[in-house]
C-alpha cells in the first residue's frame, strides 16, 4: 500500500516537535538549518541559518562544523539544539524525523516554515 507525500509528512509530524516562528526566533542557542535548495536559500533566509538541502541532509549534517564543532562525524554532538525549516514545513518535518532517527535528541521544526516566519514579520537575510 502506498501513501501520498502529504500523508508521509503528516505521519512525520506525529513524531517531531514543531515550534512557532517566534519560539524559533527567541532560541539563540540552536543551530538553524534551512533544508531548502540553494536557490531558495539565496532568495531569503533566516539570519544565521545554514543551508543543508533536504536531499543531502543525512550525509552532510554530522560533518558540518556548526552542528558537530569538528569535521569528524564520529565526534559530532547529537545533543546540539537544532531548528529545521523549509518553505512551508513539509520538508522540515521529514528532515526532523530523519535527524531524530540518526540520534539527534534536540530537534525542532518551524511550523509553517519560512512562509510563517515572514508572515510573522520576522527578519530575513537576502543575499
Higher pLDDT, 69 or 92: 92
Mean pLDDT across the chain: 89
pLDDT digits (tens, 9 = 90+) for 8-44: 999 999 999 999 999 999 999 999 999 999 999 999 9
Contacts 24+ apart (CB under 8 A), 115-118: 115/87, 115/88, 116/20, 116/21, 116/88, 116/89, 117/21, 117/24, 117/25, 117/46, 117/85, 118/44
State how far Cα 110 lies from the chain centre.
Answer: 8
pLDDT at 71: 46
Determine which one of 9, 12, 24, 86 is catalytic: 86
State yes or no: is 80 an active-site residue: no
pLDDT at residue number 66: 66
**What pLDDT was estimated at residue 68?**
59
Rounded mean pLDDT, 94-121? 96
The model scores a pTM over 0.85? yes
pLDDT at 64: 65
Domains for the chain: give ranges and CATH numbers.
Answer: 5-119 (3.40.250.10)
Amino acid at each position: 500500500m502506498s501513501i501520498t507525500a502529504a500523508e508521509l509528512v503528516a505521519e512525520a509530524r506525529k513524531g517531531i516537535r514543531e515550534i512557532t516562528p517566534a519560539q524559533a526566533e527567541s532560541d539563540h542557542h540552536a543551530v538553524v538549518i534551512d533544508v531548502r535548495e540553494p536557490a531558495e536559500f539565496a532568495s531569503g533566509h533566516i539570519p544565521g541559518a545554514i543551508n543543508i538541502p533536504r536531499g543531502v541532509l543525512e550525509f552532510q549534517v554530522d560533518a558540518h562544523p556548526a552542528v558537530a564543532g569538528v569535521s569528524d562525524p564520529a565526534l559530532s554532538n547529537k545533543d546540539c539544539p537544532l531548528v529545521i525549516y523549509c518553505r512551508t514545513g513539509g520538508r522540515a518535518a521529514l528532515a526532523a524525523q530523519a535527524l531524530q532517527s540518526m540520534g539527534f535528541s534536540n530537534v525542532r521544526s518551524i511550523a509553517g516554515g519560512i512562509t510563517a516566519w515572514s508572515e510573522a514579520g520576522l527578519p530575513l537575510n537576502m543575499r
